[in-house]
A = this chain, B = another copy of it.
């Protein structure tokens, strides 16, 4: 605790509403209304001009704490993610950040990587630090959810459906998966494996759905030996390749639920001497700048992650906390064909 009087903040006293009011020769209530563009304010143009001049001259900025205290609104939305290192969340964050800024709000992102998990993040939020909380991916315990509800904090699950919450915004993962699998089917593949996400993940569930649906539409039956579930990430992909290639009748193509897993899939295939796409086609969900530079460049399905983050932010801020939100973001999903997919060798 440095309690020095010269700690840099006290340098110049901040400009307050009262300063502006004095300079403009009006009451601070008037200044407040001008600042907030109160539509009910009926003010003489010359008075408004005087106020605006004073505002500008003194470079007035409202004190956020005072405003928050008075209005019981923080002007901030929280976003909780599992890990900053996951580029999928980077896209969601960017979308949320943009939307929040458009609404005049700040965004406060927290992750569980910092160690203590969602609980300690919730503690930090305290009372009034955020107006609502976006919960992206990861897992929230029942206790944590109860804590949220206790605090009267509106929350919204992003990219996953919460346990019976009825408050979530997701992407059309079923369609995304279908697009990927249809691409493989169009190329002529019939033995198509699915490198799925972890059993607990809602996105994994929905992508598996899309995979099954696509096969069915093509008159194919799902072969359980061709479906592997593992963590999203390179290690999951490595593991999946081992299981799939050691099976009795290996696939000719793989639909990978996540681009991070696909990185592991490509490296494991190479390590085993399986060439892509000649001997194995690979397509994954989520496009990243990286995908183009993998070896070979990876065919992906681009999902509207930014739109997801933006939409979630808007809904969190506009829909009352006790109303249900169950939205699927309908921005276009795009197949990005690169060099990891080709027809099966015959």
A residues sitting closer than 8 Å to B (CB atoms) are: 2, 4, 6-9, 11-12, 14, 59, 61-66, 68-69, 72-74, 76, 83-85, 87, 89-91, 93-94, 97-98, 101, 104-111, 113-116, 120, 124-129, 131, 150-152, 154, 233-234, 238, 263-264, 266-267, 270, 288-290, 292-295, 297, 318, 320-322
> Are A321 and B11 in contact (CB-based, < 8 A)?
yes
Q: Which of chain B's residues has its CB closest to A15's CB?
A: B127
Instruction: Tell me the number of copies of this protein.
Output: 2
Asked if residues B267 and A62 are in contact (CB atoms below 8 Å), the reply is: no
CA distance A152 to B76 in the complex (A): 22
Nearest B-chain residue to A151, judged by Cβ: B61
Q: 16 A-B pairs, CB-CB below 8 angstroms? A: A7-B321, A8-B152, A11-B322, A14-B127, A62-B127, A64-B74, A65-B74, A84-B90, A84-B94, A90-B90, A93-B111, A98-B115, A101-B116, A101-B120, A106-B110, A107-B110
Q: With contacts A264-B293, A295-B270, A295-B295 known, is A106 near B108, CB below 8 A? A: yes
Chain B residue nearest to A297 (CB atoms) is B267
Q: Are B8 and A321 in contact (CB under 8 A)?
A: yes
User: Which residues of chain B are within 8 angstroms of A293 by Cβ–Cβ distance?
Assistant: 234, 238, 263-264, 266-267
Query: Once the chains bind, are B292 and A234 in contact (CB under 8 Å)?
Result: yes
Which listed residue, B105, B110, B128, touches A64 by the CB 8 Å rule? B128
The 8 Å CB contact of A87, one of B68, B87, B91, is: B87
- Which chain B positions have C-beta within 8 A of A264? 293
Q: Contact between A233 and B289 (Cβ–Cβ < 8 Å)?
A: yes
Contact B4 A320 (CB under 8 A): yes
In the complex formed, the residue of B with least CB distance to A61 is: B127
Give 8 nearest A-B pairs by CB, closest first.
A8-B321, A65-B68, A84-B90, A65-B69, A97-B114, A85-B90, A234-B293, A267-B293
Nearest-CB residue, chain B, relative to A294: B267
